[in-house]
Structure 1
Amino acid sequence: MVKKYFIMIILMSFSFAYEVGETISMAHQNQDFSICYAPELDPNNDGVFNFSEYNGDLNGGQYYVIFLEMMATW
């Protein structure tokens, strides 16, 4: 039984899309997410968040540093 859990944990550790320091792909930068809190902080005030709005190569030269903190409570 412990062996099954160990194998499952090992397999899950390889399932993450990005590691620390990697660059987000253009496909992932263009995904839209609705903003549920503080939509006035959105650069173009459309209430939709995507990373391409903060990419200086795509938004006219204004670069941003983004710190993401994600938590889950189960």
Structure 2
Amino acid sequence: MERLLTVQEVAERLGTSVRFPRRLIEERRIAFVKVGRHVRIAESAVASYVRANTVTPVVLRPVGRGRAA
């Protein structure tokens, strides 16, 4: 079984306040587990969330070095 993280631990890994992972949970944007009244998030769910929301940079060609019109 993989490690389940507390909301505080998720916030630390994402570099945010506790409010952000709580909002993700409330909006059902990240998978979570309820253990009694406690909420836990699997490490793989955090990694999946980061992967799904990672934006790759766009590489642009330099402008102004082509032929004259």
Whether these two folds match at TM > 0.5 is no
Bigger fraction of residues in helix: 2
TM-score range, shorter chain: under 0.3
Give the TM-score of the pair, scaled to structure 2.
Answer: 0.22
Q: Choose between structure 1 and 2 for higher RCO, CA contacts under 8 A separated by at least 6 residues.
A: 2
The structure with the larger Rg is: 2
